[in-house]
Each structure stands twice: as C-alpha cells, then as structure tokens.
Amino acid sequence: MLKICVDIGGTKTIVGLINEDLKIIDSKKFETNKVDPTAQFNEILKIAKQYVTDFKSIDDTVLNIAMPGPCDYTKGLFLNPPNLQAYNGFNAEAYITEHSDFKPQFVNDTDAAILAEYQYIEDVVEDFIYLTISTGVGMAYVRKGKIVSGVDGNFGEIGHTVIKSNSDYKCPVCQQYGCVENEISGSAISRKASEILNRVVSTREAIQMYIDGDNKAVKDMIEEVIKLTQQLCINLFSVFNIYYIVLGGGVTQSPLPYKESIKSYATAHHLIHNSSFNVEVSHLEANVLTGLYFVGK
C-alpha cells in the first residue's frame, strides 16, 4: 500500500509517494511558500489529490507531514518556526480536513528520519538516538522500538541548549551564548571559518582546509567543533542510557572523523568503562520523506 508523505522544509517542500520498502515511487518538489501558508497547503493538496486519482493501491486517507518546529504536532499547529514566521498560528490540520478527505498526521523532521533509520537497525538495537548535524542540529529518540516525541511532539530540540560556556556568539533565535546549533552545525563551521579568514567560506571549503591541514586557525577551530560534538554525544549516552547513536545530516557525511572520535571519547570518559559505544553514520537518502511512511503505525 502506497502512502502520501510530505516533507516541508525551510526552503523546499517535497510531496512523495512511498511504499513499504521505503522506496520513493514518485515525488514532486517545489519552493516552500514562506509568506502564504494557505497557498502552500493548497499546492500540497493539489499534488496529493492527483496521486489519489493516478495511482492504484494507495491509502487515500493518509497524509503524513513533517513540519519545521516548533509546532504543536498533536494539533498540526505552527507555533514559532524561525524560518516560516508567516505560519505562526496556522492550523494545518483544520485547513486540510476542511478542504479534503485526508486525515493528516504531523511530526517533526528528526522524528520522521529516526523512523526510517530504525527500519534498518531494528534487528541490532531498539534503544538509540538519531543526531542530525546539517544547517541546524536536531535529535530524536527511539526507546524499546517506539519513538519518544514529548508532550506536543517537540522532543529533542537540542540545538538551542548550551554546549560552550565561554562562547562570544549570541544566538539570534534563543538569545543565549554558545548554543549547540551555533557551535557545531554546518552553518557554525562556515561562520567561524569566515570570521577567521575574513571572507565568505562555505562549510565544505572549511572542512577541506581542515583535511588539507593548510591553515592552523581553521584546523584548531574544527578540532574544537569535533570536541564539542564528542561532549554532546557523551551527554546523550549518559542522559538517555543508550549505547547507540546514528549520525545524520550533511556535515556527518563529510570526511570529518566523527564516528571514531566520538567512540573513543565516550570510551575514555563515560563512567561505565567496559561498555561498547556504537556510532554509525546514516547511509539513507531522504530519510525524512521515507520515514514518514511509518508515522502512526
């Protein structure tokens, strides 16, 4: 049975048709309408209704949607998404049920991603954390094979917790100094490298400079980013009492030595000395879109 799944991102939206093997049967991509949520959801409904017309063996009431937080995911209500400020107070569930026969369900994007990851490792582990490091930083948690989403679906907003106490960078979103997102994300790497070299430096270029070792200040900066990421991960191992972390997001796909360095740091500093810590880098493409298949299952 095919399901219609929707990944609303800050810049792009993808509406896709997913099967039980996590294959994308068809998908349509368009620019997220940042100013008009009504037009945005009209476009989603237009594509979804066309799928129902065009495809057989489709579950014609399912519409599983990943939305950028914070939202009240139990109600489909946008609360205060930093990149979609025009959506504040927009109730997607009310709009969709008024204009279609779909019964929509909503999750945040990391919750959708961890559902896809779990399909691939469920024979190995049923308690683990998914940590994504890309433009931003997010996490999700599966416990005993079930996702833990928090009271209103906003579990794991780790990006705006403080990791560096002596940082001099104030976060424009949470107004704290040294929050995770501004210290270890891809945008943080780019920002810090640009400050050092006094020109615009992309995340990719900064990482390449680290690998090549041709600039000491950039190398030191990225070493600190990796160290802070190790510290974040040992916090997760300890707080959640888990031994398995899956890393996702573009930065973890880079040549930076996340997997081995996090394992060795946790082995050296975790209080339970004889534990084996597992860190795996995700190999799934589009894990948000495909993971939506398993929402509500």
List residues binding Zn ion (CB under 5 A).
160, 171, 173-174, 179
| 21/7 Cα distance (integer angstroms) | 18
* CB closer to Zn ion, 167 vs 267: 167
**Distance in Å, CB of 34 to Zn ion, minimum:** 21
**Distance in Å, CB of 173 to Zn ion, minimum:** 5
**Distance in Å, CB of 214 to Zn ion, minimum:** 32
**To which residue do tokens 């949607």 refer?**
65
* CB closer to Zn ion, 171 vs 221: 171
* CB closer to Zn ion, 93 vs 157: 157
| 216/239 Cα distance (integer angstroms) | 34
**Distance in Å, CB of 162 to Zn ion, minimum:** 8
Report which residue's Cβ sits closest to Zn ion: 171
What is the secondary structure of 53-77 as a DSSP string?
Answer: HH-SSEEEEEEEEE--SSEETTTTE
**To which residue do tokens 């094979």 refer?**
145
**Distance in Å, CB of 178 to Zn ion, minimum:** 9
**Distance in Å, CB of 12 to Zn ion, minimum:** 23
Burial of 261 (0-12, 13-18, 19+ CB in 10 A): middle
* CB closer to Zn ion, 179 vs 189: 179
* CB closer to Zn ion, 165 vs 276: 165
* CB closer to Zn ion, 61 vs 80: 80
Half-sphere exposure of 114 (CA within 13 A, CB side): 28
